[in-house]
Structure 1
Amino acid sequence: MSYRGAYSAEGLTSRPAASGGEVQLNMPSASDFDVDDEVEKLHGKVSMLKQMTGAIHEESGIRGKLIDQLEETMSQAGEALKVAQKEMKKAFKSGSSWHLCVLMMFCLALFLGFYVLYRMGKFIRFFTG
């Protein structure tokens, strides 16, 4: 008992026989199978695949450029960070705590001055107003 091959709507199929190494092919009739029609279908599929590969190539190129730009930006940021760290180290080494104390006292005096002026303005408005 052997299996007989059958054709599909898209072309020929073959199935091996149950016994031995025989292969049976059944060719569809000329009215059911048109070679030119099948070639046109294949040509359409090949064209579609060509367009898809072109789009994939273009997309991968764009993504590659974006990755290159990101790498360049990250390296620039790393360099800027190194420069800022060097400047901070230099500032901490050269600066003393005395400068920081003077700055804090100045800020405190400025705040107290504005506070006193604000309170005096309320005091003056209370008696004039």
Structure 2
Amino acid sequence: MAFRQTVGKFLGNHAETNENHLDVSLQTHYYKTTKDRALTVLRNFFEKNEKFRINAVSNERGEVSASIIKGKKAFIVGTVIMVRPHQTVVDFSVTTESAFPFDFGYSTKVIHRLYDHMDKELPTIPKTNR
């Protein structure tokens, strides 16, 4: 990862995942499941954890938006897309709400925590099998 991206990760207040992200830990995760099952796992995680509050769920679009209401505040959008039968991708976008324009990597840590939970609940598809 380039120096600029490393510094930007700590001095920004936003992080998101994508297919070809320079930071390997922020690359899109693939799961061997259906879109509905992945959305249910994500929604249940937010509902069962008192730190989060669900703002909206769109089953048609495959999106869940939530807020972190305890501790450092943040807004999260989880996007679930079924690319093939039993091959679903999950991406996240996290923006930290603070008085400063940086969060010292908090938004990235939130993404890692969300992916850790999804990886425990759903079977992952290694990058070599996509």
Q: Which TM-score band applies after superposition, normalised by the shorter structure?
A: under 0.3
Compare the two structures and name the one with the higher helix fraction: 1
When normalised by structure 1's length, the TM-score is: 0.22
Compare the two structures and name the one with the higher strand fraction: 2
Higher relative contact order (CA 8 A, sep 6+): 2
Q: Which structure: larger Rg?
A: 1
